[in-house]
Amino acid sequence: MSELIGIPAESLTLGGLLGMAVLAILTGWLVPRSTLRDKQRECDWLRSSNEEKDRQITELLEVARTAEQVLAALPKAAER
């Protein structure tokens, strides 16, 4: 017959199945749907905040490049 995690399926009783369910919960293999949804919301929030951070970094790089060009042009303007 078939096996379930190395245990023959015909030897599992109701108590055995309950024990496996409890073991799955305790080891983290089985989590409540609310916990999964909370983690998904957290991942979505982190993803959107990372996108915002990336956008801000891009804008700051533009400002830094402009400032660098201005500062590089100052000595040339002072020589005139």
pLDDT, tens digit, 9 for 90 and up, residues 17-62: 888 888 888 998 888 899 999 999 999 999 999 999 999 999 999 9
Tell me: pLDDT of 10 over 90.
no
Q: End-to-end CA distance of the chain, in Å? A: 93
pTM: 0.53
Lowest mean pLDDT among 2-6, 11-15, 21-25, 46-50: 2-6
User: What is the distance between the alpha carbons of residues 40 and 46, in angstroms, rounded to a whole number?
Assistant: 10
Token code pair at residue 80: 């005139």
The percent helix, strand, coil of the chain (3-state, each to 5) is: 80, 5, 15
Tell me: pLDDT of 1 over 50.
no
21 or 8, which is more confident: 21
